[in-house]
């Protein structure tokens, strides 16, 4: 087990500086254009693939960093560049985590490479869990997966929403209901291979922020996939469902569903994204406050501005500490006995919204225009308190974990 430390080693520092350079030289100059276009920035993703950032190897190296700091460090630097473009680069990772968390070694080796493609033909993947009537309330999921034993195929029907890369992905990971009577415990995850008939893109959303990231509905109409596309395999599913049914009768311990396993693994990473956006806004505000003069002196000379900057930096550093702690715990197999993963996402996402709003206030009228990036950063920051579990859901998870009570 790696000891927890706030000091990056030389290799991690080298990776951090490399990522920061890419974010500064490639992502930031393109940010305003792709935010206005509201399209997937394929040229930037391709550049990321060429240098090795958008690749299975890079993701795996960071994911299996024994200190747990590889992923949060990478997320912070890329999202410091721009949240929308960065999400287009890392969005495939959520689908990859879904496979890593629930798949067999063969499934991991088969499908994750197809999620990324190669430097000449980059691909993306999508993780599809939310539905029009089932966002945070995963127990209300309606997308069904029915097993056709005669053909050893699963048949999927339903509509998913808020799917990053939904419809344009090469590989879709879909969470569906296999046993409605078990509620959220009766869910399973499936791979939908490329060009599978019956899968189509529904509505593409025009969003408040992260506009360079493609978000859309995914419609599944009699989508037939091989039995081997059930993540973890049928035997493991049958065993899990049997245990869930038995526990339902006896009131035994809770069984985690496939979607929640993915979200628990990714929450600290989302917290790191929020830290990156907050840090970017803080740095713009700090530089502006040092150079902008009013009444014959820089505005940072005023306590009203200086104290805001002090609070902003304190929130950012505290958020990073929570994110790094949760990431270290996760990689070292330490259970989140106090919902530390949810804590990290909750505090970091709320901090990002507050810090970016303070940055606009410090820049005044300039901060409210698109001539300065803090306006875009504030719009982008709004998503962190919403996706992969709202702030309200994080508080619910934390409260339930601390109290042991079924708080509603």
388 is catalytic: yes
The CB density around residue 194, as the number of other CB atoms within 10 Å, is 11
105, 253, 388, 392: which one is catalytic? 388
Tokens read off for 139? 């127990």
Q: Count the neighbouring beta carbons within 10 Å of the beta carbon of residue 408.
A: 5
Q: Please tell me the distance from the alpha carbon of residue 31 to that of residue 318, in angstroms, as a whole number.
A: 27
93: which 2 tokens? 């990772």
Among candidates 343, 329, 307, 352, which has minimal Cα distance to 75? 352
Alpha helices by DSSP H, listed for 292-302, are none
Three-state SS for 114?
helix
Which residues does 340 contact at the CB level (< 8 Å), separation at least 6? 322, 325, 326, 329
Residue of 394, 395, 362, 393 whose CA lies nearest to 378 = 362
Distance CA 310, CA 350 (A): 17
Q: Return the active site residues.
A: 388
């Amino acid at each position: 087990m790696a000891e927890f430390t706030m000091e990056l080693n030389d290799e991690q520092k080298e990776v951090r500086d490399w990522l920061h350079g890419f974010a500064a030289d490639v992502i930031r100059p393109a940010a305003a254009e792709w935010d206005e276009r509201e399209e997937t920035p394929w040229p930037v993703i391709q550049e990321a693939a060429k240098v090795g950032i958008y690749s299975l190897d890079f993701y795996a190296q960071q994911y299996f960093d024994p200190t747990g700091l590889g992923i949060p460090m990478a997320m912070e630097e890329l999202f410091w560049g721009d949240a929308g473009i960065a999400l287009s680069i890392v969005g495939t990772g959520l689908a990859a985590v879904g496979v890593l968390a629930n798949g067999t070694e063969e499934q991991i080796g088969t499908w994750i490479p197809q999620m990324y493609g190669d430097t000449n033909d980059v691909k993306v993947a999508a993780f599809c869990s939310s539905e029009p009537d089932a966002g945070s309330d995963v127990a209300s999921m309606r997308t069904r997966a029915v097993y056709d034993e005669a053909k050893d195929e699963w048949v999927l029907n339903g509509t998913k929403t808020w799917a990053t890369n939904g419809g344009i992905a090469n590989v879709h990971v879909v969470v569906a209901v296999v046993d409605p009577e078990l509620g959220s415990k009766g869910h399973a995850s499936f791979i939908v291979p490329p060009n599978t008939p019956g899968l189509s893109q529904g509505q593409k959303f025009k969003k408040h922020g992260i506009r360079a990231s493609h978000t859309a509905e995914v419609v599944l109409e009699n989508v037939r996939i091989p039995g081997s596309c059930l993540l973890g395999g049928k035997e493991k599913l049958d065993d899990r469902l049997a245990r869930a049914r038995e526990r339902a009768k006896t009131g035994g311990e809770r069984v985690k569903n496939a979607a929640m396993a993915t979200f628990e693994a990714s929450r600290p990473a989302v917290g790191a994204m929020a830290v990156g956006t907050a840090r970017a806004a803080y740095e713009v505000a700090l530089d502006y406050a040092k150079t902008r003069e009013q009444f014959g002196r820089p505005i940072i000379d005023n306590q009203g501005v200086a104290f805001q900057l002090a609070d902003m930096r304190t929130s950012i550093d505290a958020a990073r500490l929570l994110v790094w702690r949760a990431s270290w715990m996760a990689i070292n197999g330490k259970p989140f006995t106090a919902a530390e993963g949810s804590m990290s996402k909750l505090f970091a996402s709320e901090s990002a919204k507050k810090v970016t709003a303070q940055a606009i206030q410090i820049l005044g009228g300039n901060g409210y225009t698109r001539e300065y990036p803090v306006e875009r950063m504030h719009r982008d920051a709004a998503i962190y308190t919403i996706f992969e579990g709202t702030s309200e859901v994080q508080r619910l998870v934390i409260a339930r974990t601390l109290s042991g009570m079924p708080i509603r």
